Structure formats: structure tokens, C-alpha cells
Structure 1
Amino acid sequence: MVKINTVNKTLPGNKRTTSEILPFLDGWLHGQDDRFIKKVKKIFENSAVDERYSFMSPAEVFSLTSFEARNNLYMEQSIELGTECLQGALTKANWTAKDLDYLITVSCTGIMIPSLDAHLINNLQMRQDVVRLPVTEMGCAAGVAGMIYARNFLKANPGKRAALIAVESPTATFQLKDYSMTNVVSAAIFGDGVACALLSSCDDDEGPVILDDSMYHFTESTNLMGFKLTDTGLKMILDIDVPEVIEANFPAIIFPFLERNGLGIADIDHLIFHPGGKKIIHVVESLFSELGKNINDTKEVLRLYGNMSSATVLYVLERMMDKKPAPGEKGLMLSFGPGFTAQRILLQW
């Protein structure tokens, strides 16, 4: 059995409320139409994000900083915060860095070669035979996808331990001279974050068991979400139809996956969903409220931190694990990302 032993998060140093960010919009939108300025501010105010953390200060975010400078900061902070987060998780689990057999890092908001995992191996003095897997280009889905990869490794290698580290800085991808709704909405809902999950196939380690996992790939949908690499950095692609596409496919995503495990939604005690944004939360909440379920922890993570891409679902999972669900209770993890794709994990405490 593969278990999730520990989840840990690390918060970047810059924290601002949405109300504190609004004055920076005046400088960014200077010269734009008054109605457009009011619309942008309303999007921020109604984003369901009250606070967010970032690698960069607001002044740095809303400045004409080069792609190179932003990416350099992304690399520096990723190494520092990734090391801190993994060490914190190991301390919580009472493990050492040399206990790790498999190291997965996920990120999509910057470019780093050698990848983050190589730096973590050096910083924490891991064993020289640790297996490493850097995962990029999966966006928000990578948090759950990385856990699926870890489970596959651990299933094939009993008595081993793995770490998944998600490091994301969506604010570093902000495009100063782009006044499109995609850039506006992205700036309104995204924040930066770092999270780590430790998984194990050792008999003596504790934690909820991963009963099943699965990926669901939407066809003819590569245009819905992603990044375009431009001279000014990573430019967000976010189609307005994403919530509707998710809603249309939701039954096919959820119910067959549960049914193959002999379960229905009534058997699921905890929903651990990636909070893509206010519209997606509304779609998911409307579907599950009719079934007597809630996604309160998902909503609270969005409110307190914003959408942190791949790291976000791990923040939700940490909240759930901190509540110490009763033995036998089940949880369903779900995230969406570029491709378009949905990633699913079934847990039992």
C-alpha cells in the first residue's frame, strides 16, 4: 500500500491583501478607459481571493522587469523555498533526507536547468542514488499527477519513500503591457506557493492510503489552457469556456472512477479539489451541493492564498490531513490542467 505520510507548505515572503493590491492597478492601468479600469478593479474585488503571497513584491510585479530578471528571481526563490519546504516536511515526518528514494519536483511558472530537484539533492545532502523526476508543462494538474507518478514508483518498489515538491510563481508570469481579460483574470486569481507531500510504501509509515488513481484527458482541447513563450515571458492562455467544459465532462470524470472502486459519491467523505478560480468553484459546488457535499476547504485555500497552480491542491490536502479524519473515511482529490486534463486520486484514512 502507498500512503501519504506528510504534507507541508511554505509561504513566500511577500503577502498582500487584494485591497492592498488595488492601488497598484492605478499605475498599471494609467491611460486606459475609465470603464475598463472600473471593470478590472471589480474583477479583483470579486475574485474570491482575499490574500495572496508572492516571490515578488507588488512593486516588482507591476514594473517593466525583464523576463530574465523575473526568471532569475523564480530560480532563486524556488531553490530557497523548495529546500525549506522539503526540510520542514521531513522534520514533521521524523525522516531524514537520506531516507528518500524518489524525488519529484513540479512547476510550470519558470525555467530552470539543472532542475530544482538537483539543487535539493545538494542542499539536503541526499543519497547519490536517489531517483529524480522533474515535471514541467502540466500546470495546475501537476500536483495530483506528481502524486500518481510517486505512487507508481512506490507500488513497484515496496519499502521505499518519495517526496513531491511543487513550487510555483504565477505572479512572475504577469505581462505588464497586456490588457487582455486573460491577463487581468490571471492577475486577479493567482498567487505563489510551495508545498511538499511525502509518500511511502513502508509498512511502518502511517497516513491515508491511495486506493486508486487515474488521468482523464479531454480530446480536442489543447487550446483551453497553457502558456505561450514570448519575449516578455510566459503569457497565460486561459479560455473563457474552461468552466463550461469542466461542467459538461464532470459526470464522466467522477462517476466511472468511483464506480470502478465500487463507490458512489455518497461514500466520499472529503473533497480535496484544486480551486482553479471562482467560476470553476461555482460549477463544482453547484454539482456537489445537490449531493450533500461541500468544497469548503477548497474555497478557503483560494480565499487565503489564491490559485497557486500545482501547489494549490496540496494546500487543500494539508488542511484535510490536519483535521485527522476518522479511520475508514474516504477522500477524492481532483485537479485540472493544460491538455486539457483531469487528475484523480482516491484516498482512505
Structure 2
Amino acid sequence: MSVYIHGLSTCVPPHALPQDEVRDRAHEILGPRFKGFDRLAPVFDTSGVRMRYSVAPFDWFEQAGGWTDRNSRYMDGATDLYVEAATKALADAGWTAGEIDILVTVSSTGIATPTLEAQAKGRMGFRDDCLRVPLFGLGCAGGISGLNVSRELAQANPSAKVLLVIVETCTLSFRKARPKKADIIATILFGDGAAAVALSGSESGVRVDRGASRTWDDTLPIMGWEVDEDGLAVVFDRSIPDFVNAEMRAATDAACAQMNVSRETLGRVVSHPGGAKVVEALEASLELGEGTLDIERDVLRDYGNMSAPTVIFVLEKVLARGDAKGSGKPLLASALGPGFSAAFTPFYVD
């Protein structure tokens, strides 16, 4: 049975973080605490990011507390984002919340038990008998991995309507007490956002085929979270762009073979733009040509790296522009994340 996208949405929280103001505030807050700040400061201007959005206002970053404060803001902000993204995707599909049979929730930037779909249930009107599938720890790969899980559930349940909601509040990982280089890079790149996708076996204009994934051995320290008294602290290894250059082409070719598609005949690659250097590395590794990933750069510029939902922002814009529409050539969406891992999903647009 084929699986199709019926609705898709993206949204961001209300607090805008212009990059020039983030740079100035970071200089005030982090400059005295991190001796290498001045060396990294130019990256604010070369990162490709011009705007981000956060569930917290600017003043919070000066007063940011520990676990209780951060997770309280996650619970409130992420639940609001969940409701907005889910409501918009359902409207796009022409579905009601009461029609949803399976709820897949992706989020790795806070702890919610009960999980976000339960937090949002009273506001959304989901049925009491929905199957709930929360996914944690997928990081930046969560958008594509969540799509793959949702697709498998839809295929296994032919009459089901599946709603995938992806919510991340990356800005709440901001550190000021003992910042490391990775914390400065996170301050330069991170934004908050959400996306939602409505799927079922009923035919529509966008078909989702079975995806693929790859997890490399001995790569656990490349990306993830460290946990301490202040909450979740980002782990970014400087080798990520080099790793993409060395590994992504072979991984993509192997995934394409598994999915019965050819990289040479793709209509377009749709990538998670983790950062400017990662986008450049993807273009080089996949032999796409400089500037090919234009929408990826646009999303990075306007929203920063929102982790898991970011690739859905790219997909939404690619579909709106009509790339590969009616060509019979697949769009191949991909994202890299903790593990270290890669996830892939092919789409066909009528």
C-alpha cells in the first residue's frame, strides 16, 4: 500500500532573535566567561543565519536558570507549538483532530511525561483511543526518522490517519555559567520551531515511499546532549563537515539502492541545513553543484537550525516551488543526527 501526504505545516514561536542583536547580547553575557569568544565572534556574521525565533524572550537568556526553569519553558512553549503546527496541518488536510488514529511526536529538547500529544489533547480534541508514539533522542535526524516511522505505521494500518508533529526548543540549551565552544556555536545557530505532517493510505498529490537509515559505528561523541545540573548541553564535534564530505555520498548511494532510486536521477535533494559549512559539504559530497541547496540556505538564514523540524521547513518550500512536480523523479529528503546517523525518505509529486 502506498502512503501519501495530505497536510503539512510549519510554525515558529513568537520571540524573534535577530542575529545582530544575538551577537551583541552574547558578547555581553558570554564574552567575559569564555576566553575564546572573540575568536569565534565573527562566525555570527558568516554562519548564514540572520534570524531565529525562541519560546523565551531575550531577557530570559540573561537570567537562564537550571533544569526546572528550562523544562518549564519547554513544556509551555513546546505544547503551544505542537497545537499550532498540528492545527495547521489538519486544516491543510481537511481533517479534524477527532479523525486521527495514530499520533507520532518527535521532540528531543525537553522532557515531557505525559508526552506532548497528551499535554495538547484537551486543546486539540484527539480521541481517547489514539495510538501515541513519542520519539525522543533523534536530534536533527528526527524530522526524517519521524516521517519514516509515521509512514510505516500508515502502511501497516490501511484505514488509519496518522499525524506526525515535530517540536524542538533548541534555544533553551543556552549556557552562560561555563560555556564551551559548542555552546557558542549553538548560540550562533539554534532556533526553535515545529512542523506537522498528516499522512494516510488515501491517494493525494505527494507519495511517500519507504525510507532508509544509516548509523555509523564508533561515532557517539559527534553529536548529542550532555546532561548536568543546568539541563541539556549540546555536543557538536568540529569534524561534522569533514565527516559529511567523507561519508555522505556513499551513505546516500547505499540508501538509494535500498529504496530502489538512483542518485543520478533524483528530482532534487532536500537536506537538513545544520549549518553553512554542512550545506557546503553536502553539495560537494553529493556532487550537486555550488548553490544547488538554495532553499536550505534560505531556511537557515530565516530560522536558524531548529533541529528536527528544519528539514520539513525545507520540504514545504520545495513542494511550494514545484521542484520535480509531475516529472516522475523522486525528491530525496535527508538529515543527519546523533548516533551518528543519517535518515532518508523519497517523495514523488504528481
Q: TM-score, normalised by structure 2?
A: 0.94
**How far off its partner does 1:232 sit?**
0.8
1:186-226 Cα offsets, whole Å, 9 max, x none, are 110111111111111124xx131122301111111111111
Task: Name the counterpart of 1:59.
Answer: 59
CA contact (8 A) 1:334 1:345 kept: yes
SS of aligned partner of 1:307: coil
- Is the partner of 1:179 in helix, strand or coil? coil
Question: Counterparts in 2 of 1:222-241, with a 5 A limit?
Answer: 222-241=220-239
Q: CA deviation at 1:267?
A: 1.2
Answer whether contact 2:191 2:306 (CA < 8 A) is retained: yes
The answer for the alignment partner of 1:264 in structure 2 is: 262
- Cα distance in 2 for partners of 1:343, 1:30 equals 37
Judging changes above 3 Å, is the alpha-carbon distance between structure 1 residues 36 and 252 closer, same or farther for their aligned structure 2 residues?
A: same
Instruction: Classify the secondary structure of the residue corresponding to 1:309.
Output: coil
State the match for 1:210 in structure 2: 208
Whichever residue aligns with residue 13 of structure 2, its letter is P
Quote the offset at 1:262 in angstroms.
Answer: 4.6
Alpha-carbon distance between aligned partners in 2 of 1:200 and 1:346, rounded to the nearest angstrom: 16
Corresponding residue of 1:13? 14
The code of the aligned residue for 1:192 comes to: D
Matched residue of 2:333: which SS? strand
For 1:268 and 1:330, how far apart are their aligned partners in 2? Answer: 5
Match of 2:337 in 1: 337
Pick which of 282-291 and 297-306 moved more. 282-291
Q: Please name the residue that 2:298 is paired with.
A: 300
Aligned counterparts, 1:19-34, within 5 A: 19-31=20-32
Match for 2:211: what amino acid? D
User: Could you say which residue in structure 1 is the equivalent of 2:316?
Assistant: 318
Contact 1:222 1:340 in 2 (8 A): yes
State the partner residue of 1:287: 285
Per-residue deviation, residues 164-189 of structure 1 (Å, max 9, x unmatched):
11111111011112331111111101
Greater CA drift, 254-263 or 267-276: 254-263
With 44-53 and 59-68 compared, the bigger mean Cα shift is at 59-68
Deviation at 1:146, TM superposition (A): 0.8
Cα deviation code 1:231-273 (max 9, x no counterpart): 0110111111122222221122111222345533231112111
Q: Which amino acid aligns with 1:78?
A: A
Name the aligned partner's letter for residue 122 of structure 1: G
Distance 1:212 1:251, change over 3 A: same
- Which residue identity is paired with 2:19? T
Q: Is the aligned partner of 1:2 residue 2:3?
A: yes
TM score, norm. by length of structure 1: 0.94
Counterpart amino acid of 1:267?
A: T
Cα distance in 1 for partners of 2:331, 2:243 equals: 24
Contact 1:161 1:202 in 2 (8 A): no
**TM superposition shift of 1:30:** 4.7
Q: Distance in 1 between matches of 2:33 and 2:190?
A: 23
- Indicate the RMSD between aligned Cα atoms, in angstroms: 1.8
| Partner SS for 2:8 | strand
Alignment partner, residue 153 of structure 1: 153
Once residues 65 and 293 of structure 1 are traced to their aligned partners in structure 2, the CA distance between those partners, rounded to angstroms, is 41
SS of the equivalent of 1:266 reads: helix
Q: Which runs of 5+ in 2 are unaligned?
A: none
Distance 1:83 1:74, change over 3 A: same
Q: Offset at 1:31?
A: 3.1
Measured in 2, the distance between the counterparts of 1:172 and 1:200 equals 34
In the alignment, structure 1 residue 254 sits paired with structure 2 residue 252: yes
Tell me the distance in 1 between the aligned counterparts of 2:290 and 2:50. Answer: 27
